[in-house]
Structures are given as structure tokens and as C-alpha cells.
Amino acid sequence: EIVAAAETLLDDGIKPLKGRKAIVTSGPTHEPIDPVRYIANRSSGRQGHAIAAALAKLGAEVTLVSGPVTIADPVGVNVVHVERAEEMRDAVLSALPVDVAVMVAAVADWRVASAADQKLKKHPGESIPTLALTENPDILKTLGHHTMRPKLVIGFAAETQDVESNAKAKLERKGADLIVANDVSPATGIMGGGRNSVKLIRRDGVEQWPDLAKEEVAERLAALIAERLR
């Protein structure tokens, strides 16, 4: 039903999201350890960028806040490039108010408590450094409980185990309307790859989507957003 709706919308060039504003985050964040080292993750940005493009195709005015990725900016989208989770949070909040927020970026949960100004050196005989971490801002949760909360707040959950139960807990905790959950265990090839196999976790149930190209996941999700905002 959603597929049929998506095809109709895209084929006819209907712009059901015309006049609507969207924020999408995408890619990893890089959290500095010192001037040359950082903590990163394997997110490629392919899923988030595809969602930004699909929303723009349906007529939405899209701001894409992207962490460091090697893929091209999607056309027809306003792209803000950031590195750290705090920068991503600031860019997202300054794009409010919007109708829908889709938080796809794999934001680092933690950053190094005090990043060094100079490159950490290995000195023979000296002890090995320990990286003390501190919690990063929770962008999805901030949006889910914000006074300018978007009508629709959608999060992504990248899990390697207990995908569904972790995602359900996340939905509640973050104040989100929908969590798109996927299993990013290395064996799945999802992180960095071209395909995705997602579960939609709503307050009233769970829907498993088939294995699809990330562009197809994006089109289906954009159609669903258009439906919900109608």
C-alpha cells in the first residue's frame, strides 16, 4: 500500500510536501582526541542523504546536516557540513521550526572529555593514556521534548543485538514518533553498503520492511511522512 502510494507520488511528480520543512541528519560524527586523532564510526551517510533527496523530491524544503562523508551533497537540498555532535546539535536546532525531523546520523554517544591541544606523544617508558569519555548531546531526545518540537520526529536505531526491544525503548525515551531500526552487525553489510533491511517501530506496532536499496527505503519513508503530514 505504501509502495503503491510512493510510486504514484513519484511518478506523477506530485509534490505532497510542498510548503513543508524538513531537517535530516546523516553520516557519522568525528570526535577529536587531539589535533590529528578522532573517534569515528562506519556510517557512510548513504541512507540519510537518500532520505533528504527523497523528501526534496516530494517538494519539501530540506536542510541536511551532514557529518564527514565522502559522498556528494544531494541536489536540491540545503547542506550544512559539521564534524562533532555538538556542532550537529547546534545546526539542527538553528534550523527549527520544521514539520519533520529525520535523525539518521550515527551521532557519537560520547566524546573525549578533554581533547588535547597538541598531538599526544608516545614516550618510551611512560604510561599509556586512557581516554576518559563524556556524554554527547542527545539530539533526537532534545528534539522529541523541544518546545518547538516538529510534528513528526523520526529516529534511527543502529543496533547489533536485540534490535526490536532496544528500538522500542529508544522510541519512548526520546519522545519520538517513529524509530527506523536496523541491524548493523558487520555481517549484514548494511553500514557503508547500498542496501538496508529495516523495522519500523511505531507506538502502536512494528512493521518489517523487506531488504531494499537505501534509495527505496528513503522513498518509502518519504511517502509515509507525506501521508502523516497530510
Q: Which of 58/198 has CB closer to a copy of itself?
A: 198
Quick check: helix, strand or coil at residue 166? helix
CB of 127 to a copy of itself, least distance (A): 10
* Cis amide prior to 137 (ω within 30 degrees): no
Query: Would you say 43 or 63 has its CB closer to a copy of itself?
Result: 43
Examine residue 172 and tell whether it contacts a copy of itself (CB under 8 A): no
Rounded to whole angstroms, the Cα distance separating 138 from 170 reads 12
- Cell readout for 13 is 511528480
Known catalytic residue at 166: no
Per CB under 8 A, 114 contacts a copy of itself: no
- Residue 164 or 227: the one with the smaller Cβ distance to a copy of itself is 164
Give the residue with the Cβ less far from a copy of itself, 44 or 63. Answer: 44
Site residues for a copy of itself, 123-162, by CB under 8 A, read 124, 128-135, 158-161
Phi, psi torsion values for 173, nearest 5 degrees: -60, -40
Asked if 30 interacts with a copy of itself (CB under 8 A), we say yes
Antiparallel, parallel or unpaired: β 152-159 and 205-208: unpaired
User: CB neighbours of 59 closer than 8 A, spacing ≥ 6?
Assistant: 15, 16, 17, 18, 19, 20
Binding track over 193-222 against a copy of itself, x by CB under 8 A: ------------------------------
Chain centroid to Cα 56, Å, comes to 16
> 46, 48, 57, 64: which is closest to 9 by C-alpha?
57
The set of catalytic residues is 41
Sites of contact with a copy of itself (CB under 8 A): 30, 33-43, 70, 106, 108-110, 118-122, 124, 128-135, 158-161, 166, 173, 184-186, 191
